[in-house]
Each structure stands twice: as structure tokens, then as C-alpha cells.
Chain A
Amino acid sequence: MIARWILLALLPVVAVIALSQPRRLSAIIGMGLFSLLLAAVYLLMHAPDVAITEATIGAALVTAIYVLAIRRTGRLIVVADEAPGLIAREGKQIVGLEYDILVGFAREVGLDLSIQFVPLRRVRWLIDHHEADMGAGGIIPLAVEASNLMSTPQHLASGVYRFEAKSLPRETARPAGIAKIAETAPDYEGYFSDLLTHDRNGTLPTVATSLDLARVLALGRTGAALHGLDRMDGSYGYAFLIAQKRVELQRDYAGYLTRLRDSGQLETLIGRHFS
């Protein structure tokens, strides 16, 4: 009798604690504990059939299914914006400098690497909301950043290039270079979406569009004519994005990058992709 009352009083407490956890895994484990308590209550209320069924289903199977559905454990989730030479898809494979770095890093920390390609603005959002571990794809962290994002040490120096609008001839409704890009390399449409949006609206960008080195090189490779290319002053470099709270991950990565640099492997990798 007393045992039953104690358990019954414990049930809402465990329920509130389990459902107010911030992490999903903690909530799942809390609900497993809740199921076990519930099974004990059923037993004390003279319902052994129900108790057995609830214990096995709630504690074993439901927990197993939820844990299988939450894929975060054991993976290093990287969200990337496609950047040629750094991390890009070629058919079924992914190639690039940043990809090689990430593969080595994942192997070192013992996690599975999982890369998703998303637009650039999503990269920041995903890292902000702890949906992904690292952000990649030719990101140049500029001076003003959100306080909860932090960039890793740079792995490759780059520059920021601007197109000056004044130099584009006003008569052309659609600058020739952009048209060529859209035809020959439809995969690259994402990088130059700024230019293409302006182009679609019929206006020309009054403030220059900034592109980084890798994308400018890709633009050049498509044979587009670049007008008014101007390099901005300052030293910029590519880096990855990691959330501010992931201190251990930052530390691991900093150590890994230093080792790469010291042993000269970073030079080799850069040479392989950007020779």
C-alpha cells in the first residue's frame, strides 16, 4: 500500500524531469525510467499482464527505437556550402582540400564523417542551433561575428574580391559572364546567387559582391569575363565554424591542425588541390 503511494507520487516528478530536459537523449532515458516505474505501479495494482508488457515495450523497445532515430551519437556532422577546390561534389564523390582535412580529423577523433550540402545562410543557422558540429565550404569569418560562433584557426589564406558595379556596361541586360556560368556550370549556381538574383531583377548590384579566392578561380575557369576585379585590403583566410560551446571539439581541431601544419602535410594537400 505504502509502496504504491510512494511510486505513484514519484511518477509525476520523474515525468516532469524527463520532459523538461534540454537534450533529446536525456529525455529518452528519462522516459525509459518512467516506463519502468509505471510497470512497477501496474504490478502493485494487480495487473501482471500489463506490467510485463509495459516493462518490455517501454523500457527496451521504445528506448531502442528512439535512440536509433537520433543519429547524433558517433557522428561528426559537417554542413558545407559547395566551394570548388575546397569541398565540392563530383559525381558521387566529394573532393577538395577541406574535405581531406575533415576526413583526417574525423578519423582522429574516432567519429564518422557525415557531410551535408546546404546553402550558406543555413550553415550559420545550423551551427547556431546545434544541429551540426562544424561548418565548412570556403567560409571566411569576417570581423563581426555572432557571439556564439567561433572560427577555427585558418587553414588556407585567401582574399576577398569585389566586383565594382561601375565598370559593368549598362547596356547589357545580362552580363555575359553570368550567362555563361549559368549555362556551363549549373552546379555552381549557388555560389553566385547574389549576382544572379540581381541579374534576374534587372538591376545591377550597386554594392560590390564579394567572393573569395576559390570561387573567383572557379569563375575564371568557366571562361567568364570578370570586370573590375578588385582585391580588398586585409588578410583573410578560410576557416571552419564551430559553436562557441563545443570547447573540446575546438581544442581537438586546433591540435590536429597544428600537427598537420608542422608535419608539412597541409602544404602537400594544398598543393594537390590548388596547384
Chain B
Amino acid sequence: MAAIVAFILFGIGILALVLRRDLVIKLLALGMINAASILFFISIGDRQGARSPIQLPGDTAILVDPLPQALVLSAIVVNFAILALALVFVMILCERYHSTDSTRIEQEIAREIDVEETPCL
């Protein structure tokens, strides 16, 4: 069930990434894709009627699989740092082209390339 919601969120993230023009919203959509992937990881470790993976000696309850959680834990923090880096690039782009509209930036870049007339093979 949660896996299906993860796929739906992934789809929503991709749609927002493609359909929205604003670069900042595109970054938010990438964050959503991250969140969907992490939700999927957590959901495959979950079992019926299990408990959190904290176990004292002598405890014999069924535990949730701890491996996906371990994989995902540091991924969340690293995603944050990478997101900050991507946001810095968006800020630099915006200062250079005075816009956060991706279509507009593409047009400006195309215009610059046209004007320069660099020699090519």
C-alpha cells in the first residue's frame, strides 16, 4: 500500500518537474522524487505486526527490517546538501539571466550561442 503511494508520489514529482516552468518549483519536485524513493525503501522493510528495530537482549518480538532504514538515513541528509548545491546553481542562473523561468533562460542561451558564431568543425 505504501509502495503504491510511493509510486504515485514519484509520478507527481516527475509531472511537476516537466510541467512547471519555474526552476525553484522544479527543485521542489526533485525533492518530492527523493521523498518518494525513500518512502518506497521504508515500505519494503515493513512487516505485519512488527515493531521498531530497537531490541534489548532477551527480547524476542518480530522486528521491522533495519537494512532499508539504515540505507536511507544518511541519504536524507546527503539529499539536503545536494539540494542546497542545486539551489545555489539556480540562484547563479537567475542572477545571470534575470529570470527563473526555464523556457526564458533557454531562449536567452540560444540567443547567446547564435550571436557568438563560434567556429566549429
**Does chain A touch chain B in the assembled complex, meaning CB atoms less than 8 Å apart?**
yes
Contact yes or no, B35 A47, CB < 8 A: no
Counting chain B residues whose Cβ lies within 8 A of the other chain, the interface size class is 35 or more
Q: How far is the CA of A214 from the CA of B77 in the complex (A)?
A: 56
Contact yes or no, A16 B46, CB < 8 A: no
Contact yes or no, B9 A12, CB < 8 A: yes
Q: How far is the CA of A16 from the CA of B16 in the complex (A)?
A: 9
Chain A residue numbers with a CB within 8 Å of B106 are none
Q: How far is the CA of A61 from the CA of B79 in the complex (A)?
A: 12
The answer to whether the Cβ of B25 comes within 8 Å of any Cβ in the partner chain is yes
Q: Binding site of B, secondary structure by majority: helix, strand, loop or mixed?
A: helix
Contact yes or no, B101 A129, CB < 8 A: yes
The answer to whether the Cβ of A103 comes within 8 Å of any Cβ in the partner chain is no
Do A19 and B32 contact each other (CB < 8 Å), given the known contacts A57-B80, A62-B83, A69-B90? yes
Contact yes or no, B46 A46, CB < 8 A: yes
**Which residue numbers of A lie inside 8 Å of B, CB to CB?**
4-5, 8-9, 11-12, 15-16, 18-20, 24, 27-28, 31, 34-35, 38, 41-42, 45-50, 53-54, 57-58, 61-62, 65-66, 69-70, 116, 118, 122, 126, 129, 131
Do A50 and B20 contact each other (CB < 8 Å), given the known contacts A27-B28, A45-B43, A69-B91? no
0/1 interface trace, chain B 25-44, chain A, CB 8 Å (1 if under): 10011011001001100110
Contact yes or no, B5 A47, CB < 8 A: no
Q: How far is the CA of A38 from the CA of B43 in the complex (A)?
A: 12
Q: How far is the CA of A38 from the CA of B42 in the complex (A)?
A: 11
